[in-house]
């Protein structure tokens, strides 16, 4: 199959049917070279297509008038806010924020060009949406998205982050001449009091491993409900506003990840450490797999509309059906997600799939204890459930139930995992 035909067949019914990839002049360049074994298409009963949002030529001028009443304050002004807890008051959220204080994690995210350039293009190619508007950046980190919004003509940008990296972010904002346009506030979004009654646009890079890990989306939902403009003639915008997570079957070898990370414990310098293997297999592995390791179609298991979803939607249970696209040995499952900016003039997005260009989110892998012979055309029926862990809501408890009745093997299994 010609590479371009493979691209068309694979994504003709995906989230990207209605818009191109953001960070490449040729959307086909977004993908790594295709390889044998990549699923050719998703079954028609499993398609999920994100429609292109309608745009209104009067939105910009109307929203500007609405936003003109709040008094804007600069970063040197006084803001009512809370600070993060001291050591004797620390919660799991505080340790989460601490992890974002180190520059290394921000370096990894900034160097992820798929991520950063998509946001950059979504914002700078839509200056008509940002011009004169009030913008809220949830989890602003180093301030990169806030500065994109200021470049696009935002009247004022408020960035909120609880980690201490915001101290460097304030210096970065000043060094780049945005100190009068961007106000950075250190505190938890749920406890911060902004000096404006509402904002016109919320931007945030909230996605985690398995899309939902670390639960930052709940904070974004709070910010949307509390601060986003609800004027019916000029409704507020979310950047991004759509997300879909997919699940597919993978072969047992999977680039030797299972051998190196799980089976390793069977013989460690001649010693049997298999009790640790029993723990290791219950934890999903975040890693990059070769596209050739995917042996089935990839089915959507979660669809989120950021303008409407609630925190209750972050706990989910979904049935799925996978069809093997070749004879192989089933060893587990892979999940990845796609994100879309569909409220803009020309919707764009990106994918974290194993057959797309690398992102720092990689893929999330769920291995089974045994391998199962599977033939081309045979179906795997399953259910995946996900809830926040009761002790630490930023961790996820995930269960996968699967059933298969094949020519050479049968499978009925229920597996429990914890992503932490």
Q: Which residues are tagged catalytic?
A: 205, 214
How far, in Å, CA of 345 to CA of 57, rounded? Answer: 10
Beta pairing, strands 410-419 & 328-341: unpaired
Q: How far apart are CA 129 and CA 63, in angstroms?
A: 9
| SS3 (DSSP) at 383 | strand
Instruction: Compute CA distances 1 → 6, 17, 36, 360, whole Å.
Output: 6, 20, 9, 29
Sheet with strand 396-405: strands edge to edge: 316-323, 379-388, 396-405, 410-419
Q: How far apart are CA 164 and CA 141, in angstroms?
A: 9
Q: 10 Å Cβ neighbour count for 110? A: 15
Q: Which uninterrupted H or E stretch holds 382?
A: strand 379-388
In angstroms, the CA 85 to CA 96 distance is: 12
- Give the separation between CA 28 and CA 271, rounded to whole angstroms: 49
List the one residue out of 249, 221, 220 whose CA is nearest residue 326.
249
- Residue 143 C-beta-side C-alpha neighbours within 13 Å: 27
Is omega for the bond preceding 240 within 30 degrees of 0, making it cis? yes
What CA–CA distance (Å, rounded) separates 330 from 19? 33
């Amino acid at each position: 199959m010609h590479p371009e035909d493979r691209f068309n067949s694979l994504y003709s019914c995906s989230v990207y049917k209605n818009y191109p990839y953001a960070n490449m002049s040729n959307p086909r360049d977004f993908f790594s070279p295709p390889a044998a074994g990549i699923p050719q298409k998703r079954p028609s009963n499993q398609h999920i297509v994100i429609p292109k949002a309608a745009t209104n030529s009067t939105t910009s001028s109307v929203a500007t008038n609405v936003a003109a009443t709040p008094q804007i304050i600069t970063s040197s002004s006084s803001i009512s806010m809370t600070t993060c807890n001291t050591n004797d008051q620390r919660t799991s959220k505080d340790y989460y924020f601490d992890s974002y204080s180190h520059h290394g994690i921000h370096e990894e995210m900034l160097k992820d060009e798929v991520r950063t350039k998509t946001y950059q293009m979504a914002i700078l190619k839509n200056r008509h949406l940002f011009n004169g508007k009030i913008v809220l950046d949830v989890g602003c980190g180093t301030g990169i998205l806030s500065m994109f919004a200021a470049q696009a003509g935002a009247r004022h940008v408020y960035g909120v982050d609880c980690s201490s990296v915001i101290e460097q972010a304030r210096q970065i904002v000043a060094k780049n001449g945005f100190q009068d346009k961007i106000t950075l506030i250190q505190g938890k979004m749920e406890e911060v009091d902004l000096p404006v009654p509402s904002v016109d646009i919320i931007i945030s890079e909230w996605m985690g491993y398995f899309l939902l890990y670390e639960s930052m989306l709940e904070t974004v939902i709070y910010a949307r409900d509390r601060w986003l403009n609800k004027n019916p003639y000029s409704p507020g915008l979310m950047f991004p506003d759509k997300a879909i997570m997919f699940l597919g079957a993978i072969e047992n070898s999977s680039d030797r990840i299972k051998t190196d990370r799980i089976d390793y414990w069977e013989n460690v310098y001649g010693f049997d450490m298999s009790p640790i293997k029993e723990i290791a297999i219950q934890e999903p592995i975040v890693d990059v797999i070769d596209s050739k390791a995917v042996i089935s179609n990839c089915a959507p298991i979660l669809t989120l509309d950021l303008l409407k979803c609630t925190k209750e939607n972050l706990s989910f249970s979904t049935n799925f059906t996978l069809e093997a696209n070749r004879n192989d040995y089933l060893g587990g499952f892979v999940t990845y997600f796609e994100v879309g900016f569909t409220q803009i003039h020309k919707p764009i997005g990106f994918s974290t799939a194993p057959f797309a260009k690398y992102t720092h989110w990689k893929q999330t892998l769920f291995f089974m204890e045994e391998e199962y012979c599977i033939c081309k055309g045979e179906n795997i029926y399953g259910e995946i459930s996900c809830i926040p862990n009761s002790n630490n809501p930023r961790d996820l408890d995930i269960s996968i139930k699967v059933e298969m009745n094949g020519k050479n093997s049968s499978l009925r299994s229920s597996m429990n995992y914890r992503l932490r």
